[in-house]
Amino acid sequence: MNTAAISAVQAAAPAMPVIPMPEVAATAAPGFGQMLVQGLARVNESSAAADATLRAVALGEPVAPHQAMLTMEQARMDLHLALQVRNRLLEGVQELMRMQL
Amino acid sequence: MAQDIVAIARSGMDVEWQRVETVAANLANLNTTRTADGTPYAARTLISGPRFAGLLGQAPVAGTSVLGVQVSTQPGRRVHDPAHPHADATGFVTYPNVDHVGEMTTMLAASRVYEANLAAFNHARTMYQRALEIGSKK
């Protein structure tokens, strides 16, 4: 193979500018995915707490009614927050999918 | 944080619930003329105080908590009833020093404070839900 011709072409071609790739997710700060998983773990925690309180009520243990209601409301509030985060995320993804390229 | 308001309101409800429990115990023992140690029942008062998130005076108040239950040392009501098995040598029976009207007042006040804490929680929840509506398209 005649490599001389290739090197001649390479020499003639202008040097291609090197485009630096953006640094993906610096490891110092927790990524969005990690935060999402943490938030979901908290939702799961509060829903488990509500579960435990309800079980105690069902078993006839002396649980003050406000304890049960507050634990359930906390679980509901956490779930709503997670739902809203999910809605925003999904909206963003759908916007990106609709983008004309 | 909404969680903080929930925790504060919860502590208030806990304390008032226990206060009503103490009142109920006093009312239930209104006629207990003899306890295990031979004396009539003594009225109990629940003492509560603020709870701080950290060092006293440096951290914000993070609700309330029960500090203790004080047993009253006031003398009890004495009734002349020689036929009563718990009557002393002079024929007097000592009844508990529970203030019936005072206990009813304490109970009503505690129940109002309980409701106020409930209102605080409900408002915190409404605010939280409103906050979730920020930027919502609906």
Provide the angle, in degrees to the nearest 10, between the axes of the packed helices A65-98 and B2-28: 160
pTM over 0.95: no
Read off the pLDDT band of B98 (50, 70, 90): very high
Residue of B53, B45, B50, B43 lying closest to B18 (CA atoms):
B45
Does residue B23 fall inside a structural domain?
yes
- Give the A:B interface size as CB pairs under 8 Å: 32
Residue type, B67: L
Does residue A71 fall inside a structural domain?
yes
Q: Which residues of A touch B2 (CB under 8 A)?
A: 77
Does residue B122 fall inside a structural domain?
yes
User: DSSP per residue over A48-93, as a string?
Assistant: HHHHHHHHHHHTT----HHHHHHHHHHHHHHHHHHHHHHHHHHHHH
Does residue A68 fall inside a structural domain?
yes
Residue A73, domain extent: 32-101
Does residue A101 fall inside a structural domain?
yes
**Interval A21-55: pLDDT, tens:** 555 555 567 788 888 888 899 999 999 999 999 99
Asked if the C-beta of B134 comes within 8 angstroms of chain A's C-beta atoms, the answer is no
Does residue B127 fall inside a structural domain?
yes
- ipTM score: 0.75
Residue B96: how many other CB atoms lie within 10 Å: 21
Does residue B86 fall inside a structural domain?
yes
Give the residue-averaged pLDDT of A58-77: 91
Give the model's pLDDT for residue B4.
85
Asked if the C-beta of A74 comes within 8 angstroms of chain B's C-beta atoms, the answer is yes
Give the model's pLDDT for residue A24.
54
Under a CB-based contact definition with an 8 Å cutoff, are residues B125 and A77 in contact? yes
Give the model's pLDDT for residue A100.
85
Does residue A4 fall inside a structural domain?
no
Give the residue-averaged pLDDT of B41-50: 92
Does residue A72 fall inside a structural domain?
yes
Give the residue-averaged pLDDT of B24-53: 90
Q: SS3 helix, strand, coil % of chain B, rounded to 5? A: 45, 20, 35
Side-chain-side CA neighbours of B91 within 13 Å: the count stands at 4
The number of distinct structural domains making up chain B is 1
CA B39/CA B9 separation, integer angstroms: 39
Does residue B137 fall inside a structural domain?
no
Give the residue-averaged pLDDT of A66-78: 91
Interchain pair A70, B136: CB under 8 A: no
Interchain pair B6, A84: CB under 8 A: no
Q: Give the lowest-confidence range in A4-13, A62-71, B28-37.
A: A4-13
Under a CB-based contact definition with an 8 Å cutoff, are residues B118 and B27 in contact? no
Residue B44, domain extent: 2-132
The number of distinct structural domains making up chain A is 1
Interchain pair B125, A64: CB under 8 A: no
Does residue A20 fall inside a structural domain?
no
Does residue B126 fall inside a structural domain?
yes
Does residue A75 fall inside a structural domain?
yes
Read off the pLDDT band of B135 (50, 70, 90): confident
Does residue A46 fall inside a structural domain?
yes
Give the residue-averaged pLDDT of B39-63: 85
